[in-house]
Amino acid sequence: MSDISEKFIVLTITGRETRVWATGMERGAIPEKIFAPPALNPHHFRDDPKHHGRGDGPGVPQYFEEIVAAIGDALEVLLIGHGHGKASSMLHFIQYLERKHSLLAAKIVDALDTNLIAMTEPEILAMAREWFDSHAK
């Protein structure tokens, strides 16, 4: 992972992958990717009645801790996620940070809910640049 000490980063999160733009939001910036363990595949939950939601499924803490390790030194984090309620990995991640990593949770400057599946990486970066331009101090 790139050195992100004291940097503004953009993070997209779904149940399958997280993308971290730590080198900037310029056109063509390449994110680093963190993949969820195979056990987080939503199809696994349908077969196992013990799991009543993503938040308590196997592999979630491992996945979230990988993300925490990647972004822990950031100055500020803009989260972009997908889904609502129990289907929102972004919401689960924020709740996890509030419980386990409150200092990192405080670095979350905003959480944008959008249809990540339908967006390209350049569109995601454009959204982040637009957010940053409207919120820059």
pLDDT digits (tens, 9 = 90+) for 82-112: 877 777 899 999 999 999 999 999 999 999 9
Residues 110/131, Cβ–Cβ less than 8 Å: yes
pTM of the model as a whole: 0.82
pLDDT digits (tens, 9 = 90+) for 12-69: 999 899 999 987 778 888 999 999 988 665 554 444 444 444 444 557 899 999 999 9
Structural domains of the chain sorted by starting position, each given as residue range(s) with its CATH number in brackets? 8-135 (3.30.420.60)
